[in-house]
Structure 1
């Protein structure tokens, strides 16, 4: 049997990037959309906002299931109201790329890597963001929780779905995950990704990112192509 020399640099041929807070700057739209959704349902958002902040990065339907104590009908109503409110804000021109994000994605592709974008939003919201930024054809694959059996972060399912669907690498240790939340880091670590990079442009700070599995912490996703190039692969 032939074994790989552990000192041989890995190819890191698949990069799975989070959207809001990592590649997309939404100016706090999650909290604004949540507040609007809660008010539409006659709920007091002030009693729930701390949990929403603590679970940034988690799939939104999971957040609402917790907030409504497992009441699936109420959670689905809240999720629908949230996605509608967020979509309206996106349509109003409230999203932009994190500075340097598109260039970073293009650099990663130029390095021969496959790039996927993942999100905790529903597909309709993800598509609205992609359309607003003109990113529909920017990457090979975009993923939301429904594309990975319905489980979003902190589960590893979306990362593993990208691994299986793209066929870009043969080993999960050749996968790179980047995100701005502790749930992004947990998802990457649980998937077995070799590089789990936290970025400081979103919800959580360096301590939280490292605590939940970050192998590297970057100021921005714009630094990722250089990190991987310096990694020797």
Structure 2
């Protein structure tokens, strides 16, 4: 045994920066303030199937792959009871497939309606690029939806360097597969120099599982769940009343930082680089 060998090499293994990669979720993080598009799509397809669901029921599994999201909605006791009362049978895989097929059709329309970038997004992306930070992205949307959303975002000048969708990998969130696909595609030198930015607990758990820094988005994300117009209409006290539980839920994942929107990210990058320089790690 040579225990001293590990000790002597420890300083060489310590990554001290800089941040080289930032990997963003899409809806609720970079665009679609409040993560409205998928929520409205889920509610519409369930309503059209004769089993209306609440906003809270539609939002609860956010971050999961969309077909899995539908299955998780159906597993909720109240939803399942309403489903059985309406259809006369417990939901099955064929039901999930039918709902998912309709979701893809509806959401193709919705992503076009809710493709506006979150205020400050382009400034933050420009700031990152000026620092030489690569911009990656992950999403619970399948590739079919992203084929529509990517060009819509490009028209608004958001063009990430790489996009990994849930249909490109073996496992969706909370597993780190999409994030690690970004790290490989973007030639990230060390995962400790990468930051994952996401508005969902499952997205943050995926970031932590990848060994990267995890930054939660509260105000513009799914946990608050208000459109930009609804959000800006609130008083500061009302905004804080929404932010407090949203922040608490994201913090419980173990996220290293929680911010209001993507506009607040540059200061967090500075803070993380200071931590790295001091020898801290995710």
- 2:216 aligned with 1:198: yes
Structure 1 alignment gaps of length 5 or more: none
Q: Counterparts of 1:212 and 1:228 in 2: how far apart (Å)?
A: 20
Partner of 1:179: 198
User: Which residue among 107, 115, 119 is the counterpart of 1:86?
Assistant: 107
Partner of 1:66: 72
The answer to whether the 8 A contact 1:17-1:177 is kept is yes
SS at match of 2:10: coil
Q: Counterparts of 2:158 and 2:29 in 1: how far apart (Å)?
A: 18
TM-score, with length taken from structure 1:
0.86
1:113 deviates by 1.0
* Deviations 1:157-198 (CA, angstroms, capped at 9, x unpaired): 1111111222122x22222101111111111111111x1101
Q: CA separation of 1:77/1:155 partners in 2, compared to 1, >3 Å: closer, same or farther?
A: same
SS at match of 1:212: coil
Structure 2 alignment gaps of length 5 or more: 1-7, 76-90, 224-245, 275-282
Q: How many residues align?
A: 227
Pairing 1:95-134 to 2, within 5 Å after superposition: 95-133=115-153, 134=155
SS at match of 1:178: strand
TM-score, with length taken from structure 2:
0.72
Q: Counterparts of 1:219 and 1:68 in 2: how far apart (Å)?
A: 31
User: Which residue among 41, 44, 47 is the counterpart of 1:33?
Assistant: 41
**Based on CA coordinates, which of the two structures has the bigger radius of gyration?**
2
Name the structure with the higher helix share: 2
User: Pairwise CA RMSD of aligned residues?
Assistant: 2.4
Partner of 1:213: 254
1:215 deviates by 0.2
Q: CA separation of 1:230/1:214 partners in 2, compared to 1, >3 Å: closer, same or farther?
A: closer
SS at match of 2:59: helix
User: Which residue among 92, 95, 98 is the counterpart of 1:77?
Assistant: 98
SS at match of 1:39: helix
Larger mean CA deviation between 123-132 and 106-115 belongs to 123-132
Partner of 2:207: 188
Q: Counterparts of 1:97 and 1:81 in 2: how far apart (Å)?
A: 26
Q: Counterparts of 1:135 and 1:155 in 2: how far apart (Å)?
A: 30
- 2:35 aligned with 1:14: no
1:64 deviates by 2.0
Q: Counterparts of 1:165 and 1:71 in 2: how far apart (Å)?
A: 37
